């Protein structure tokens, strides 16, 4: 199929100016709710503000890379960076660390997400379809897709929206490995690694897409000396090495047993009901837009109509070919059981091939996101229940579904454009206008009706770092931890020996210190080897405790705070600090070297192609 498609022509100055102009238009429009001194509320905004605050505090304490947020939950600490990837938060966190208000930092993050989405969509759609026109059309459709905008401005699902920015590149990578040029396996490796560094659940969904694609294309994988299988293994190995610095700490901490490891069997209730919401033209435009019950679960009416039109065209094409009513011509031969004359050209064949697979993927994702799919059956199959419940909300499938729908819609526009009776410019303007109208309903409703964060019009906002509700009740805490009691406990150190006096509790640069001494004891007497001090820090692996500079043991105390054993000493200064173990540092170096090697490989390979 790749032989039917010309190589990508280099952009002339006019096309470069058009591309830049389109990029600016889409970037500015999708950032409209950010162009105000207020911060609009969203479902999960507090959690992501906390992430920025936590990373900023950690950077200020000298942590790099950040692992432990020291200021969350009344300064007891929280391993958010261990369990939730935060690579793309370093810029807003660094801004926050130097004193920029979290309002601006959060908006910078959303601006990065929109910029990445538009840029990677232009790059990926152009290379999938080998067409600037397709790049422009696909980018407009995807960057203005309602589910993506919904994630940013209504749900506040920043990580999922960030992951969606890399999905077009993932689609390009999958297409190259399984269909076209397996030598470009690095597209999928980069995309998957970035998705994993954005949102684990979306990475899980992308993994399922890769597995299903591999099953469908299994013959291709093992043809031509397993070249495509080798490319897929290269991509998987690269993803593993690039993310080793995150994955090793993740699984190291998961083994201790945190609250999030439990399985929720009620996930099937979190479906789209009624299913008609997916195709909604108008959705709730009021202050209730900020509530889950009134959230617009939709891919957008324009995308739905384009999908429907493509399905009708495909059906007519099949029926026409089956009855012999499609004229012949010099088109591609009917390989794979398709009779001669079924397609007018090899390029049209490619468009129907891509669009057809996108249509199937979009339809499956939309169907599985609704109450029509029998999710309740999964409750009785432990393995499936575990897999499905990890997704939390079946309507997350609309992320994959939206991209699939945009790919199909772009293929449909390319087919229409090939007809001399259809003006490509008029078609592009029509599709863009329809997408803009659908997106504008959501954007306008946010600007007009969405309340401000904290129900305040203040420019300077603060993150609720001590509110248990906005760390989802401590889902990364040890299972037996009552995080509400941590606030009650406060900045208090407790000794097991009633003769021990504690004073001068100080926090500085990520280290907590407290002095102790034993009073009213006989000459030469000190604390027992089993005596301890419990400090106002939550226990996690790799907290190092010292007394007067000498390392001493610690373990979880009451309500899982750090318990440091005094080892028979009568006085001293106790310090605790979280420190990365050597294995973490080794993994960081390996991931960095892998990134350098992959970059060198890509630059060298592209340089050879240019020659």
Tens digit of pLDDT for each residue in 55-113? 999 999 999 999 999 999 888 999 999 999 999 999 999 999 999 999 999 999 999 99
Same-domain status, 495 and 351: no
Task: Give the pLDDT band (50/70/90) at residue 339.
Answer: very low
Does residue 144 have a pLDDT over 90? yes
Give the range of the structural domain holding residue 554, as residue numbers without chain letter. Answer: 491-580
Closest CA to 458 of 44, 72, 41: 41
Task: Give the pLDDT band (50/70/90) at residue 6.
Answer: low
Same-domain status, 441 and 520: no
Does residue 519 have a pLDDT over 90? no
Helices H / strands E in the chain, number of each: 21, 9
**195 within a domain of the structure (yes/no):** yes
Give the pLDDT confidence score for residue 444 in this predicted structure: 87
For 255-276, what is the mean pLDDT? 72
Same-domain status, 444 and 544: no
Give the pLDDT confidence score for residue 567 in this predicted structure: 82
Give the pLDDT confidence score for residue 496 in this predicted structure: 87
Task: Give the pLDDT band (50/70/90) at residue 2.
Answer: very low
Task: Give the pLDDT band (50/70/90) at residue 277.
Answer: confident
Q: For the chain, what percent of residues have pLDDT higher than 70?
A: 88
What CATH number is attached to the domain comprising 560? 2.60.40
**433 within a domain of the structure (yes/no):** yes
**593 within a domain of the structure (yes/no):** no
522 Rama sector, left if φ>0, alpha if ψ -120 to 50, beta otherwise: beta
Same-domain status, 511 and 404: no
Same-domain status, 119 and 167: yes
For 256-263, what is the mean pLDDT? 72
From residue 163, how far is each of 8, 222, 223, 241, 533 by CA, in Å? 27, 31, 32, 19, 43
Contact predicate 554/539, CB 8 Å: yes
Does residue 287 have a pLDDT over 60? no
Same-domain status, 216 and 273: yes
Same-domain status, 449 and 526: no
Q: Half-sphere exposure of 379 toward its Cβ, with a 13 Å CA cutoff?
A: 10
Q: How many CB atoms lie within 10 A of CB 610?
A: 5
Among 155-159, 225-229, 315-319, the range scoring the smallest mean pLDDT is 315-319
Q: Give backbone dihedrals phi and psi of 563, rounded to 5 degrees, phi first.
A: -110, 115
Give the pLDDT confidence score for residue 594 in this predicted structure: 97
**465 within a domain of the structure (yes/no):** no
Does residue 240 have a pLDDT over 60? yes
Does residue 521 have a pLDDT over 60? no
Question: How far, in Å, CA of 94 to CA of 92, rounded?
Answer: 5
Q: Where are the beta strands (DSSP E) in 80-170?
A: none
Total structural domains within the chain: 2
Same-domain status, 200 and 287: yes
Give the pLDDT confidence score for residue 206 in this predicted structure: 96
Question: How far, in Å, CA of 580 to CA of 252, rounded?
Answer: 12
Partnered with residue 546 across adjacent β-strands are 551, 575
Give the pLDDT confidence score for residue 378 in this predicted structure: 82
Same-domain status, 253 and 393: yes
**366 within a domain of the structure (yes/no):** yes
What is the per-residue DSSP string for 429-452?
HHHHHHHHHHHHHHHHHHHHHPPB
Closest CA to 564 of 545, 542, 537: 545
- The three-state secondary structure class of 457 is coil
Specify the pTM. Answer: 0.90
- The three-state secondary structure class of 52 is helix
Top-confidence residue, 341 or 352: 352
Same-domain status, 142 and 207: yes
Question: How far, in Å, CA of 287 to CA of 284, rounded?
Answer: 9
Task: Give the pLDDT band (50/70/90) at residue 377.
Answer: confident
What's the DSSP call for residue 539? -
Contact predicate 15/132, CB 8 Å: yes
Question: How far, in Å, CA of 402 to CA of 13, rounded?
Answer: 32
Give the pLDDT confidence score for residue 407 in this predicted structure: 97
**296 within a domain of the structure (yes/no):** yes
Taking all residues of the chain, what is their mean pLDDT, rounded to a whole number? 86
What's the DSSP call for residue 101? -
**370 within a domain of the structure (yes/no):** yes
Give the pLDDT confidence score for residue 13 in this predicted structure: 81
For 557-607, what is each residue's pLDDT tens digit?
A: 999 999 999 888 888 999 999 999 999 999 999 999 999 999 999 999 888
Task: Give the pLDDT band (50/70/90) at residue 197.
Answer: very high
Question: How far, in Å, CA of 136 to CA of 251, rounded?
Answer: 41
Among 402-411, 455-464, 501-510, the range scoring the smallest mean pLDDT is 455-464
Q: Tokens 């979009």 identify what position?
A: 362
Same-domain status, 411 and 535: no
For 26-41, what is the mean pLDDT? 92
Top-confidence residue, 282 or 318: 318
**149 within a domain of the structure (yes/no):** yes
Same-domain status, 498 and 434: no
Give the pLDDT confidence score for residue 526 in this predicted structure: 55
From residue 10, how far is each of 16, 508, 605, 610 by CA, in Å? 10, 55, 18, 11
Top-confidence residue, 399 or 283: 399
Rg (CA), the chain: 28
Give the pLDDT confidence score for residue 280 in this predicted structure: 72
Does residue 370 have a pLDDT over 70? yes
Task: Give the pLDDT band (50/70/90) at residue 498.
Answer: confident
Does residue 294 have a pLDDT over 70? no
Give the pLDDT confidence score for residue 321 in this predicted structure: 56
Task: Give the pLDDT band (50/70/90) at residue 337.
Answer: very low
* H or E segment and range at residue 571: strand 571-578
Question: How far, in Å, CA of 396 to CA of 18, rounded?
Answer: 34
What's the DSSP call for residue 590? H
For 400-428, what is the mean pLDDT? 92
- The first and second tokens of residue 240, run together, are 């593993």
Last residue of a domain, one of 402, 431, 455: 455
Give the pLDDT confidence score for residue 442 in this predicted structure: 87
For 204-220, what is each residue's pLDDT tens digit?
A: 999 999 999 999 999 98
- The three-state secondary structure class of 292 is helix
What is the per-residue DSSP string for 458-470?
-SS----TT-GGG
Q: For the chain, what percent of residues have pLDDT higher than 90?
A: 56
Contact predicate 535/576, CB 8 Å: yes
């Amino acid at each position: 199929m790749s032989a039917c498609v010309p190589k990508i022509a280099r952009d002339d100055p006019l096309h470069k100016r058009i591309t830049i102009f389109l990029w600016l238009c889409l970037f500015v429009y999708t950032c409209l709710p950010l162009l105000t001194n207020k911060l609009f509320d969203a479902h999960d905004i507090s959690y992501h503000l906390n992430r920025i605050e936590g990373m900023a505090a950690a950077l200020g304490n000298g942590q790099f890379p950040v692992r432990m947020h020291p200021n969350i939950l009344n300064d007891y600490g929280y391993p958010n960076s261990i369990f939730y990837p935060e690579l793309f938060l370093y810029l807003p966190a660094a801004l926050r660390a130097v004193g920029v208000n979290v309002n601006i930092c959060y908006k910078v993050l959303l601006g990065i997400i929109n910029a990445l989405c538009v840029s990677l969509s232009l790059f990926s759609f152009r290379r999938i379809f080998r067409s600037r026109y397709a790049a422009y059309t696909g980018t407009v459709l995807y960057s203005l897709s309602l589910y993506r905008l919904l994630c940013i401005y209504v749900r506040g699902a920043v990580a999922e929206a960030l992951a969606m920015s890399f999905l077009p590149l993932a689609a390009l990578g999958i297409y190259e490995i399984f269909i076209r040029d397996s030598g470009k396996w690095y597209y999928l490796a980069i995309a998957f690694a970035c998705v994993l560094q954005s949102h684990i659940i979306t990475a899980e969904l992308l993994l399922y897409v890769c597995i299903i694609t591999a099953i469908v294309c299994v013959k291709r994988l093992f043809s031509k000396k397993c070249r495509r299988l080798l490319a897929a293994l290269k991509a998987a190995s690269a993803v593993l090495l690039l993310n080793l610095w995150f994955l090793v700490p993740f699984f190291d901490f998961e083994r201790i047993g945190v609250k999030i490891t439990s399985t929720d069997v009620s996930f099937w209730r979190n479906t789209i009901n009624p299913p008609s919401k997916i195709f909604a033209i108008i959705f709730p435009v009021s202050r209730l837009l900020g509530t889950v019950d009134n959230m617009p679960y939709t891919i957008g009416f324009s995308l739905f109509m384009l999908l429907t039109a493509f399905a009708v065209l495909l059906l007519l094409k099949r029926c026409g070919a089956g009855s012999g009513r499609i004229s012949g011509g010099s088109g591609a031969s009917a390989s794979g059981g398709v009779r001669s004359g079924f397609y007018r050209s090899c390029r049209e064949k490619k468009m129907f091939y891509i669009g057809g697979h996108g249509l199937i993927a979009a339809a499956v994702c939309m169907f599985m996101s609704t109450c029509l799919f029998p999710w309740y059956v999964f409750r009785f199959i432990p393995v499936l229940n575990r897999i499905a419940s990890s997704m939390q909300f079946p309507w997350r499938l609309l992320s994959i579904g939206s991209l699939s729908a945009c790919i199909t819609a772009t293929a449909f526009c390319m087919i229409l454009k090939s007809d001399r009776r259809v003006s490509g410019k008029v078609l592009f303007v029509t599709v863009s206008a329809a997408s803009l109208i659908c997106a504008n309903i959501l954007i306008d409703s946010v600007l007009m009706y969405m309340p401000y964060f904290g129900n305040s019009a203040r420019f300077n906002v603060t993150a609720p770092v001590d509110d248990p509700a906005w760390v989802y009740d401590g889902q990364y805490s040890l299972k037996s931890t009552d995080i509400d009691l941590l606030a009650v406990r406060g900045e208090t150190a407790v000794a097991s020996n009633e003769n021990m006096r504690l004073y001068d509790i100080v926090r500085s640069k990520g280290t907590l210190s407290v002095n102790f001494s034993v009073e009213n004891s006989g000459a030469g007497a000190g604390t027992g080897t089993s005596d301890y001090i419990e400090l106002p820090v939550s226990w996690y692996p790799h907290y190092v405790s010292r007394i007067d500079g000498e390392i001493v043991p610690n373990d979880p105390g009451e309500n899982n705070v750090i318990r440091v054993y005094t080892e028979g000493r009568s006085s001293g200064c106790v310090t605790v600090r979280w420190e990365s173990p050597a294995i973490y540092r080794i993994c960081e170096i390996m991931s960095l070297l892998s990134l350098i090697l992959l970059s060198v490989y890509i630059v060298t390979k592209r340089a050879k192609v240019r020659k």
